[in-house]
Structure 1
Amino acid sequence: MITITAVIRAKAGHEVVMRDALVAVAAHVAANEPETIGFFISQSEEDPCVFTTYERFADKAAMDRHNGSAVVATFFGIAKPILDGEVILVTSKEVSATVR
């Protein structure tokens, strides 16, 4: 399993736009990407401008298809003007997972 963890900071006042853009990606993933095993979005309780995604892919090809998709391009078109700094991305090989 290949994973991506992303930390995304929106400019103050743009939290709802960022959240909605991320939720749109998640909806697309659920409907169209069976090899994207999970797409989780979190918003910090301490700083609502900070979002984290955790994305699980069956393999590198699935990750590449997702990252090259129109929905990801649309997301970045919305997100780039409202980002507060660079998106932090960590791509990893999953070692263990507990899902209930």
Structure 2
Amino acid sequence: MNIQQQGGQTSTNYAQPPAILSTKDCLYIEDMLSWNLDVIKKAHAFSLLCQDQDVVQAMNRTCQIHIRQYQTILNHLGKHVQAATNTTGGVLQ
């Protein structure tokens, strides 16, 4: 762990992230999932309304990008949950 002080504020830099998820972390992850899902839904809806095939393709690419991002977040969260389950004997703390 590396502690730095800038402008009267202390920041902590970790070599690896802590092995726990705080309530604030969980809320932020929930927000990230929600933001990505909103973009997916809107881009899909816009692609259905558009006549211009270039716009339709751009909206479809946007959907795919955010679907991958959503899956990446879920996979990361799943690994964390699996690791926490393994270290606590099946009980999440």
Answer yes or no: same fold by TM over 0.5: no
TM-score, scaled relative to structure 1: 0.32
Greater relative contact order: 1 or 2 (C-alpha under 8 angstroms, separation 6 or more)?
A: 1
TM-score, scaled relative to structure 2: 0.34
More strand by share: 1
